Amino acid sequence: MPRAARRRLGRTDLRKVVLAFTRMIWFVIFVVWPLAELFVIIKVSEAIGFLWMLLLLLISWPVGSRVLRAQGRAAWRQFAEAVQAGRPPGKEVLNGALVLAGGLLLMVPGFITDVIGLLLLLPPTRSLARRAVSRHHGSAWVGRAANLGSASGFRGNRRNSGGGGAGGGQHYDADATAVDIDNQELNP
């Protein structure tokens, strides 16, 4: 939602919009999606036969598991290379999340989820999906994944050295004001 529209809406109005949107998403996930999957299953069953349709649905589970494992290893390897090179692994994190989503969708019974899962597991279409997801910068989890470098101790192309913290560097969150001090105050 654009900022101007958010300013026009009051806090309670914004909460109502978010609640309505959330309800709509849950309705689509738990009502519309299963009905669409059932419709496609019936149509595929009519086209190729019930046993072939059942076989396709059953095969998608182990295929999804193996492809998830192989693509997951590749995504993890890219993530580790980014960390070793000292650059923020935002792209690699999104790749890993898309691979995980694709593998899980392949394991869910249904042809629509299988097609979406396969598209997320193929590197060319995953790249398109990554660009589309990263363009949606309003999402909190996308923003955190894309800005992983600033939260994990990475700065530019080098890694912070020093004490504790998740990324090996020290992290401080403080509010302060600066005051100019004259040389006379420093040397009594």
User: What share of the chain in percent tops pLDDT 90?
Assistant: 24
Same domain, 27 and 70: no
The count of domains in the chain is 2
Same domain, 74 and 115: yes
Same domain, 5 and 95: no
Distance CA 108, CA 117 (A): 9
Same domain, 44 and 54: no
Q: Residues 114-152: pLDDT tens digits?
A: 999 989 988 899 889 888 887 765 555 555 554 544 444
- Share the mean pLDDT of the chain: 77
Under the phi-then-psi rule, with left for phi > 0, alpha for psi from -120 to 50, and beta for the rest, what region is 76? Answer: alpha
In a domain, 34, yes or no: yes
Q: pTM for this structure? A: 0.61
Same domain, 84 and 140: yes
Higher pLDDT, 183 or 91: 91
In a domain, 158, yes or no: no
Same domain, 29 and 56: no
